[in-house]
Structure 1
């Protein structure tokens, strides 16, 4: 399991748009690699979140996380909000957040489990039964999916662990220490070498 923080830091609204694009791109990559992905984002403005946490779990999680944490993410695009603005480079910080050593137990009444059929890892057996599980944290609406295991019992445990990691990350965002992390990440974004680069309104890899 890997956990990433994406942040626009103190950047303008265009950086929030870039965060939203990056979240969609990572979710697509995870889906294509049969890697389960859960996302917690701060309250959106009309452009996108200032920060978000992604929990990735599955055989491809390490590779996806490594690819996205090579350096600052750079989006080269004329501003969709200020067409006459001269700036075209918008940066997003992507930080590999360590997982908690122990995720606090969630109250049973706060979690709703939903079973469904899903493709992905697990082979034919998985497709014949509703073994995939979605764990929903009722108070926040955050959700995590597990489809790795061949049994519903195993997937409940996996989904619960991923949901716990997501909620822990969200709680850390509210802490002063995590706020410093976001600011520090932003301070290093434009000074650091860009890792992934995307271009244009379609957010195409460069």
Structure 2
């Protein structure tokens, strides 16, 4: 089953929106585990004490599609700001959208292999007795940004290593595109629509 990728973002929102996004990522992890899905979270950059500005969530498993359908759109969090006590605003918004990570296998690499640290791990996750239990899974860490991807799709370590490089490159490209001015403008407009009552989920913290 193909991976599903979600871009989760706090858009142009203040620090409280990063707090909301951090909470959303925890919620998604619990939801995925409850539905027997595997989940990987890749932050666009090292989060500050409040949380990440954006992150890519990768889901795989039978229950992944239904989870995506429930959460794609704008999500509202209701809580009093602990960052700015006394601030009147209590509604904070984050966005979730499905994205495709481009296949970069036929493109010249835009990242240096010396900037990637590889780790091997046992290929765990849902799958029961048919799950591959050898140390064939590979975690690739992009040292300059801290972005991490884990690949366990293939049975051989060599193939998972190659796949992790392609996936890491695609994530870096996607995150760079999403941080462009056009993307910021689109996210700002999406938040304006959300404030008119178009949210797909509401959470109280």
Q: TM-score, structure 2 length as denominator?
A: 0.78
Aligned to 1:153, which of 147, 152, 158?
A: 158
Equivalent position of 1:191 in the other structure = 196
Equivalent position of 1:203 in the other structure = none
Whole-Å separation in 1 of the counterparts to 2:82 and 2:30:
23
Contact 2:8 2:57 in 1 (8 A): no
Aligned to 2:180, which of 164, 175, 193?
A: 175
Equivalent position of 1:100 in the other structure = 102
Equivalent position of 2:81 in the other structure = 79
Whole-Å separation in 2 of the counterparts to 1:95 and 1:192:
17
Whole-Å separation in 1 of the counterparts to 2:162 and 2:37:
18
Is 1:12 the equivalent of 2:17?
Answer: no
Whole-Å separation in 2 of the counterparts to 1:55 and 1:131:
22
Whole-Å separation in 1 of the counterparts to 2:100 and 2:189:
16
Deviations 1:17-39 (A, max 9, x none): 10111122223444553424131
Deviations 1:80-110 (A, max 9, x none): 3344444332221222234336475344333
Aligned to 1:39, which of 37, 42, 53?
A: 42
Structure 2 gap segments, 5+ residues each? none
Whole-Å separation in 1 of the counterparts to 2:104 and 2:190:
25
Aligned to 1:54, which of 53, 56, 60?
A: 56
Whole-Å separation in 1 of the counterparts to 2:194 and 2:30:
24
Is 1:67 the equivalent of 2:84?
Answer: no
Q: Measure how far apart 1:54 and its partner are.
A: 0.9
Contact 1:68 1:94 in 2 (8 A): yes
Report SS of the residue matched to 2:169.
Answer: helix
Q: TM-score, structure 1 length as denominator?
A: 0.77
Structure 1 gap segments, 5+ residues each? 201-206
Indicate the RMSD between aligned Cα atoms, in angstroms. Answer: 2.8
Whole-Å separation in 2 of the counterparts to 1:160 and 1:125:
26
